[in-house]
Amino acid sequence: MPHEAPHYPYQRRVDKAVRTIGSKKTISISADSIPSVYKEMVEVMDEGIGRIMQTLKETGLD
């Protein structure tokens, strides 16, 4: 399953979406905050995969 996180742009779950169709808009983020933002992005990805795995279990498709 392709997952958008954790890829650039680095964004926290509370940030507004940076990418829109046809936009080349970029954001700047301090280098010091990248590790914590990246960690949060991996956590969000893990939560999404966990929901998928739970649904597969509930439906007997795991």
What are the domain boundaries of the chain? 1-62
What pLDDT was estimated at residue 24?
A: 75
What pLDDT was estimated at residue 9?
A: 81
What pLDDT was estimated at residue 11?
A: 86
Q: Higher-confidence residue: 10 or 25?
A: 10
Tens of pLDDT, residues 27-62: 778 889 999 999 999 999 999 999 999 999 999 999
**Cis check: omega of the bond before 9, within 30 degrees of 0:** yes
Cα separation, 16 vs 13, whole angstroms: 8
Contact (Cβ atoms closer than 8 angstroms) between residue 37 and residue 29? yes
CA distances from 10 to 2, 3, 13 (A): 17, 14, 10
The two three-digit tokens of residue 12, written as one number: 């926290």
